[in-house]
Chain A
């Protein structure tokens, strides 16, 4: 078995017990590993209608087969569970070094079941697996937890090789916007996973190992990877933009095209773009690059060590943070956005979900639908202090702020204006305006994980025109395009690769790397087929959880209110027009359900009603 370790750790926190299991080769071939394998296990083992915060929900940490092999950007570990925010399936991507260290511990996957009696930490150190009591860590921020755990180890050099993921106070208090933090990197996507981990009383997982990951054809693999690294190095977009500013280089570009939302998607142009562009970013945070494991791009930027506000803590804000915590809340001061981003990291909050919630609250207050008394908080568009205060209170569930902590949709409904919630399936939209980016809009409504670009990077072609020149405003050909990108992303996640290399490489360039590493002879089409299989299985999970066509819709604002000004003036989203075509291309019926005949061609079975176990 190459690439994979073939072993899985199943931890039952209720019984305070664990066991090691083998993963069958057949399952690996069919789902590749990573996200695919996690989805398969979750689909087989839990009832999709289960309460996400109950002990019956399972939490799956799974690394892809290419993670830890040295394959370019092979670092990503996926966390799969049923989301506490949306009730759909959820998948977060852990960046940094945790995924690789998990492989070096001799494991592909950790399945966490049940609920511990009191807070615990799962420690997997050099094959010694212990469920440690973790009461003293409860209530600590993520960086405190990490430092405390590392200094509790007797060998300070071993501590340097230890990688930890943890939840912050937000996850402990079961705030459905909570996320997981590892090694100073906030996990992306999958808001609500932190709350699931908190509901299991699991504060952190620490891994360290000295196992090897073996590669089928070492010589060829080294050759291929060397070529890919050089190719990435000469790709202009990667070497000039992404490596210098991370995803924040998109801010200016998206603003020019009228994609960047402002004040809860009320407007899509911002005339003072100088305040938020790359130059402003460099001067607000002197940027230092940090790479995830085996990543030659290094898009993650650290804050300045000498800046007294940050002291090197946390990450400089990415496009997501600048958009969701900044502009969408009307805040144009990058220092405030940076502090808000740091609080999110320390508290373990998802910046997109938290930002979207606060933006909704701000619009409610702006329209006079929410009085200061009802939340005991000032929330005015453009006021950074309000944002920072609200984030801290939300995470700790203090005072009235716990009502905002329930998420944007719950808040908008509580005050009787559900139309002010900008999101799909209870999850707030990432800061891309679906009116001026039709393909992304269609992806937002059809995504199994809620409206996150993370599961289909359509802007690579719609905005950056990397592989093909696509007009962002047209709907022509978009359903096929969206399906293709969704499938590719599912494959990349399952292999454990980051999607950013696709900014400089074609998917076909990666196939020799995959084959020489795993000892397989896949063609790109075979892999797309696997991607389609994974996407359909996720859809089946959501259908069984009670989601369907009725949930595949964008908020009214994007359909009825054309963009008022700026470069994309007059555009509305036509995602609903494309939906039938998309279902058709996917092979689904009018309600968005895959038929059993179609599933058979994908070697999947639909299961109705009862759970297998």
Chain B
């Protein structure tokens, strides 16, 4: 199964992945809000997040994520789109967006444009 490995220590926050996704899925349109991958930033660390399941209710409990000596809100890396974190929804239609690995065989455009090495396609 193909996976996209995300290494947030390498991400530079340039958001080329967002634009690659948008251009690949909506012909000739560059708009990060229509991308199925988004880069969230907390302090100087960037978290690329790929669209996951669509849920219509938010979690009732909150989790914290500790990386190094910093504590982050777990929602940052959560892939779900929920009322609390309303990402990965197409603005005009309200249609939920989800990563499709850019077709078969998988060759995700975000990985192709990522120059920092933060995104990597692996097979296992």
Q: Which residues of A pack against B, CB within 8 Å?
A: 68-70, 97, 100, 104, 157, 160, 210-219, 221-222, 225-226, 229, 232-233, 288-298, 302, 305-306, 312
Cα-based distance from A312 to B68 in the complex (angstroms): 14
B75's nearest neighbour on chain A, judged by CB, is A157
Chain A residues, CB < 8 A from B109: 222
Output the least CB separation between B83 and chain A (Å): 11
Within 8 A of A (CB), among B47-99: 68-70, 85-87, 91
Is B121 an interface residue, CB under 8 A from the partner? no
The 3 lowest CB-CB distance pairs between A and B, nearest first, are A291-B14, A218-B28, A70-B19
Output the least CB separation between B44 and chain A (Å): 5
Cα-based distance from A306 to B43 in the complex (angstroms): 12
Within 8 A of A (CB), among B22-51: 22-24, 26-34, 40-41, 43-45
Output the least CB separation between B15 and chain A (Å): 6
Please state if B19 and A226 are interface contacts (CB–CB under 8 Å).
Answer: no
B70 contact from A288, A291, A305, Cβ within 8 A: A305
Chain A residues, CB < 8 A from B16: 70, 229, 294-296
Q: Which residues of B pack against A, CB within 8 Å?
A: 12-16, 19-20, 22-24, 26-34, 40-41, 43-45, 68-70, 85-87, 91, 109, 112-113, 115-116
A-B contact pairs, 19 of them (CB 8 A): A68-B30, A97-B15, A100-B15, A104-B31, A211-B31, A212-B34, A214-B30, A221-B23, A229-B113, A232-B115, A233-B115, A289-B116, A290-B44, A291-B116, A292-B14, A296-B16, A296-B116, A298-B116, A305-B68
Chain B residues, CB < 8 A from A216: 28
Cα-based distance from A148 to B14 in the complex (angstroms): 24
Output the least CB separation between A577 and chain B (Å): 44
Cα-based distance from A235 to B15 in the complex (angstroms): 21
Chain A residues, CB < 8 A from B19: 69-70, 294
Cα-based distance from A298 to B116 in the complex (angstroms): 8
B31 contact from A212, A288, A306, Cβ within 8 A: A212
Chain B residues, CB < 8 A from A225: 113
Chain A residues, CB < 8 A from B40: 160
Q: Which of A219, A295, A306 gathers the greatest number of chain B CB atoms within 10 Å?
A: A295
Q: Count contacts between A and B, CB distance < 8 Å.
A: 101
Chain B residues, CB < 8 A from A70: 16, 19-20, 22-23, 30, 113
Chain B residues, CB < 8 A from A213: 29-31
Chain A residues, CB < 8 A from B112: 226
Please state if A291 and B13 are interface contacts (CB–CB under 8 Å).
Answer: yes
Please state if A294 and B91 are interface contacts (CB–CB under 8 Å).
Answer: no
Output the least CB separation between A159 and chain B (Å): 11
Please state if A157 and B86 are interface contacts (CB–CB under 8 Å).
Answer: yes
Cα-based distance from A233 to B114 in the complex (angstroms): 10
Chain B residues, CB < 8 A from A100: 15
B113's nearest neighbour on chain A, judged by CB, is A229
B21's nearest neighbour on chain A, judged by CB, is A70
Please state if B23 and A215 are interface contacts (CB–CB under 8 Å).
Answer: yes
B14 contact from A233, A296, A312, Cβ within 8 A: A296
B27 contact from A160, A218, A297, A305, Cβ within 8 A: A218
Please state if B23 and A214 are interface contacts (CB–CB under 8 Å).
Answer: no
Cα-based distance from A297 to B12 in the complex (angstroms): 9
Please state if B29 and A294 are interface contacts (CB–CB under 8 Å).
Answer: no
B91's nearest neighbour on chain A, judged by CB, is A210
Please state if A229 and B115 are interface contacts (CB–CB under 8 Å).
Answer: yes
Chain A residues, CB < 8 A from B32: 104
Cα-based distance from A286 to B87 in the complex (angstroms): 33
Given A70-B16, A215-B28, A221-B23; A288-B115 close (CB under 8 Å): no
A217 contact from B28, B34, B45, Cβ within 8 A: B28
Output the least CB separation between B37 and chain A (Å): 13
Chain B residues, CB < 8 A from A305: 43-45, 68, 70
Please state if B31 and A215 are interface contacts (CB–CB under 8 Å).
Answer: no
Output the least CB separation between B77 and chain A (Å): 13
Chain A residues, CB < 8 A from B113: 70, 225-226, 229, 296
Chain B residues, CB < 8 A from A157: 85-87
Q: Which of B12, B30, B85, B87 gathers the greatest number of chain A CB atoms within 10 Å?
A: B30
